Amino acid sequence: MCKNQVHKKQTNRFNWKCVPAIIAAPSKVSTTVIIRMIDVGPYKLKNSLFLAPMVGVSDTPFREICTEAGAGLTVAEMLTSNAELWQNERNRLKRVKPTGIGPHVVQIAGSDPELMAQAAALNAELGADGIDINMGCPAKKVLKKAAGSALLKDAELVERILKAVVSRVDIPVTLKIRTGWSPETRNGVEIAKIAEGSGISLLTVHGRTRECRFKGYAEYDTIAGIKNAVSIPVIANGDIDSPRKAAAVLKHTQVDGLMIGRSAQGRPWIFAEIEHYLATGKTLPEIDLKTRLDIIFSHLMKLHSFYGDVKGVWYARKHVAAYVKELLESREFMKKFNTIESPAAQLDCVNAYFSRLDDGQQVDQRDEAA
């Protein structure tokens, strides 16, 4: 069980196995907290702050927005290793290289070593600068195909897949995992050593097991153990939602960088906030409404252009909801926004909403550490 629920037979006692101790965000950044500048193959990154490959979120428009907002690397949405399915529109769009993002990293998922190697080679031919292998997805539809985090149950198969992919391409291959299949079978260190021995260039670790999905808190002790066990760069992922939390995770785990997922949706400027805090020990002022509006406008126009007038309008709704959730009367605004059917009307609606706000009306629900 991964839910923070009371046991039926033990009143007022929690099941803690998916709820490790929380790392407190420090009041000040320590001078020992350093984010390392790392390379991915021949590519020099501007920083070691990565955008996670979130399905349905980390598409080409959002990757461009996050790069503009300070992310050092963005990873594309998970793509099946079955190339026969690549011609449908959704999978075709996942392979479109964003503009101005630095290395274009495509994430592939599957359980057959040969199909994975073929998928990596095809993506390299199509212009991918790096391949990321997904062994962390907890979704049931992925697990049914013995892919994603299901692979963590079979270390031998993990090794076969990694070696097959690395040997097939001349571009960097990275890996994303969880700490294990379940709290009882955490094998992140074992998988990390296999990855290093197989030629993986960089390893990202989400600090939960598959069983825990996104419940409880990320287990940074396990990530620290993984970092200590290998010499390849290790990136920590999970629950990094503020600059001070980022500093705390870096100090505790001694990893080489951080991957931000859900906390970047509706707040892509978190990358700039974290980079500034790590460099100076000071938090940036909350962005003003004009800057937020400019980012939303840019994102909307990218979505409309990339997906077209119909689907661009659909996909814009969830992103705008994330951007405005902290602002006054956002629920009422979204009720109206969600009924709009044209790109121009969406832009007009957003502009009208922001014109009714001023900086004094902005509601900041985050911890002041952010």
Domains, the chain, ordered by start: 39-280 (3.20.20.70), 289-361 (1.10.1200)
- Output the CA angle 282-284-286, nearest 5 degrees: 145
Instruction: List 130's β-bridge partners, or say none.
Output: 105
Return d(Cα 326, Cα 98) in angstroms, integer.
Answer: 29
Nearest to 174 by CA among 129, 210, 240: 129
Return d(Cα 220, Cα 206) in angstroms, integer.
Answer: 9
Please provide the distance, in angstroms rounded to a whole number, between the alpha carbons at the two ends of the chain: 31
Q: Could you read off the pLDDT tens digit of each residue along the chain, which spans 370 residues?
A: 443 333 333 333 334 456 555 565 555 545 445 667 788 888 889 999 999 999 999 999 999 999 999 999 999 999 998 877 787 888 888 888 898 878 999 999 999 999 999 999 999 999 999 999 999 776 666 655 667 778 988 999 999 999 999 999 999 999 999 998 877 888 999 999 999 999 999 999 998 887 777 777 889 999 999 999 999 999 999 999 999 999 999 999 999 999 999 999 999 999 999 999 999 999 999 999 999 999 999 999 999 999 999 999 999 999 999 999 999 999 999 999 999 999 999 999 999 999 999 654 555 444 344 3
The residues assigned a catalytic role are 137
Residue pair 53/77 in contact (Cβ under 8 Å)? The answer is: yes
C-alpha to C-alpha distances, 181 to 22, 53, 170, 197, nearest whole angstrom: 21, 20, 31, 21
The pLDDT, as a whole number, for residue 340 is 98
pTM attached to this predicted model:
0.87
Both structure tokens of 32: 């020992």
